[in-house]
């Protein structure tokens, strides 16, 4: 079983409009609602790949109930979200059909009380029993300590459970020092962490800060990985038009899937890059175009070298 942690869950709402214009009224052509937050997106992709997955984090209020109701209908996903008194946030994605661009609006999330945070830590430690890997994903809601992910990384390591971290800012900086097995920043998050905008140098620097392996998501340019076994770059065959929301989450799912399947790093990266590109082609975050994925998987170019640990 794979465990995904989403401390700031959301109800993802996607609007499609013909052309997004400032200061104008728009007619929405399509509305999609899905359980959201990075870890929930990861979980749905993992379940679609055939991996049993449990999701945990917080859910509260009418929005939290809507998230949990929709999770109930997701095959392969077990809901272990904890109730809170606050209301789960919403995220709004507005897709411009003319350009393919997406505008994202993210609410901050509910304020978590000290008692609710303590209850989560106890539940998390219990859930790690029998877990093959855990993903810690996304932003922290108000009230959760900035060092929360660092503590959760240490708890997973004490339980001998491999842990993948996908967050940003100060929570990322602190958690990297706790030595997660894999860190997956995007280019902006990597530059903020290291101060370098050169991808290879920044990725190597992030690994020196404590992560066992670093996989940087570089958008249309694919993935760059620096690991104890070597370093590689995975590049999709062509730019894919569509909604990029959730593409990084699908890359996380591919990396976790490859980890539990014990694939060598080049195969993990090819899977992650193909899933990421196939998600751009899908209409909603947390989904991927299976036909596009199967086609892209054999077309992703992986280059690199094996090095000493």
Q: What is the DSSP string of 91-119?
A: EEEEEETTT--EEEEE---PPPPHHHHHH
Pairing relationship of beta strands 223-226 and 213-217 according to DSSP bridges:
antiparallel
Catalytic residue, candidates 181, 249, 267, 289: 249
Element (H, E) at 148: helix 148-158
Pairing relationship of beta strands 301-306 and 28-36 according to DSSP bridges:
unpaired
* pTM of this structure: 0.91
Q: How far apart are CA 49 and CA 301, in angstroms?
A: 21
Beta strands, E only, 144-229: 163-166, 182-183, 213-217, 223-226
Q: How far apart are CA 99 and CA 73, in angstroms?
A: 33
Q: How far apart are CA 103 and CA 245, in angstroms?
A: 10
pLDDT of residue 114: 98
87-102 pLDDT, tens digit per residue, is 999 998 898 888 878 8
Q: How far apart are CA 293 and CA 276, in angstroms?
A: 9
58-71 pLDDT, tens digit per residue, is 999 999 999 999 99
Q: How far apart are CA 209 and CA 175, in angstroms?
A: 10
Contact yes or no for 47/74 (Cβ under 8 A): yes
15-44 pLDDT, tens digit per residue, is 989 999 989 899 999 888 889 999 999 999
Q: How far apart are CA 230 and CA 42, in angstroms?
A: 25
Query: In which band, very low, low, confident or very high, does the pLDDT at 123 lie, cut at 50, 70 and 90?
Result: very high
Entry field: residues in the chain: 309
Cβ neighbours of 21 (radius 10 Å): 10
Active site residue 96: no
Contact yes or no for 275/285 (Cβ under 8 A): no
Alpha-carbon Rg of the chain, whole angstroms? 18
Q: How far apart are CA 189 and CA 83, in angstroms?
A: 30
Average pLDDT, the chain: 91
Burial-class residue 34 by CB neighbours within 10 Å (0-12, 13-18, 19+).
buried
| Sheet with 28-36, side-by-side order of all strands | 28-36, 10-17, 89-96, 102-106
- Identify the weakest region by mean pLDDT among 175-179, 255-259, 295-299: 295-299
Cβ neighbours of 118 (radius 10 Å): 10
Average pLDDT, integer, range 227-238: 90
Query: In which band, very low, low, confident or very high, does the pLDDT at 109 lie, cut at 50, 70 and 90?
Result: very high
**198: which 2 tokens?**
């050169």
């Amino acid at each position: 079983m794979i465990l995904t942690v989403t401390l700031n869950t959301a109800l993802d709402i996607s609007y499609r409009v013909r052309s997004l214009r400032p200061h104008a009224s728009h007619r929405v052509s399509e509305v999609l609602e899905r359980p959201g937050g990075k870890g929930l997106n990861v979980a749905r992709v993992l379940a679609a790949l055939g991996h049993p997955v449990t999701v945990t984090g917080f859910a509260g209020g009418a929005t939290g109930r809507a998230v949990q109701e929709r999770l109930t209908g997701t095959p392969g996903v077990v809901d272990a979200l904890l109730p809170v008194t606050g209301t789960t946030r919403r995220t709004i994605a507005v897709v411009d059909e003319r350009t393919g661009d997406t505008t994202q609006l993210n609410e901050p999330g509910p304020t978590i009380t000290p008692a609710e945070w303590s209850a989560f830590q106890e539940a998390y430690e219990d859930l790690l029993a029998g877990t093959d890997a855990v993903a810690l994903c996304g932003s922290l809601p108000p009230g959760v300590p900035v060092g929360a992910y660092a503590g959760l990384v240490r708890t997973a390591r004490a339980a001998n459970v491999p842990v993948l971290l996908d967050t940003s800012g100060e929570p990322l900086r602190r958690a990297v020092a706790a030595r997660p097995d894999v860190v997956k920043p995007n280019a902006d998050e990597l530059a903020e962490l290291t101060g370098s905008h050169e991808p290879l140098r920044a990725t190597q620097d992030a690994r020196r800060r404590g992560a066992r392996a670093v996989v940087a998501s570089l958008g249309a340019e694919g993935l760059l990985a620096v690991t104890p076994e070597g370093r590689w770059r995975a590049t999709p065959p062509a730019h894919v038009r569509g909604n990029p929301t959730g593409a990084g989450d699908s890359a996380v799912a591919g990396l976790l899937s490859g980890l539990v399947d014990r694939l060598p790093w080049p195969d993990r990266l090819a899977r992650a890059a193909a899933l990421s590109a196939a998600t751009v082609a899908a209409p909603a975050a947390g989904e991927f175009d299976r036909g596009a994925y199967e086609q892209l998987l054999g077309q992703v170019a992986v280059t690199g070298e094996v090095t000493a640990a």
